[in-house]
Amino acid sequence: YLVTIMGLVIPWGFTLALDGYSVLVKCPIRQQGILLIIVVGDRILSTLTLAAACSTASVVDILLHSHGTCPPKFCTRYQISAAMAFLSWFLSLASALFNLWLIPS
């Protein structure tokens, strides 16, 4: 699930980089329809990223508490992916809130 969601979030982030560039050159998008699509897309992907991060964290918890032994290579890999998924969710949520703030202005 995490791989699928991150497969959606990464291209979405590259697309939003163009939006960030337009803000830096002081030519932001003024069309409400496009901005609304960006806000809705950010909110949906932020929710899906949070769900993927939580599911990855639960897999780590199950691995650590199941039989008492977890191969260190797999547990460390899952822990890092869960931490990065939560970081990705936090940044996606910040982007969604920033774009939501741009709608009235």
Q: Which helix (H) or strand (E) holds 2?
A: helix 2-24
Q: What percent of the chain is predicted at pLDDT more than 90?
A: 0
Please indicate whether residue 1 or residue 31 has the higher confidence score (pLDDT).
1
What's the number of CA atoms in the CB half-sphere (13 Å) around residue 82? 14
Q: How many residues does the chain have?
A: 105
pTM: 0.74
pLDDT reading at 24 higher than 70? yes
Question: Where exactly are the structural domains of the chain?
Answer: 1-41+94-104, 47-89
Q: What Å distances lie between residue 28 and 21, 80, 97, 103, CA to CA?
A: 8, 35, 16, 12
Count of Cβ atoms closer than 10 Å to residue 94 Cβ: 12
Query: What is the arithmetic mean of pLDDT over 76-94?
Result: 84
Task: Report which residue type is found at 100.
Answer: L
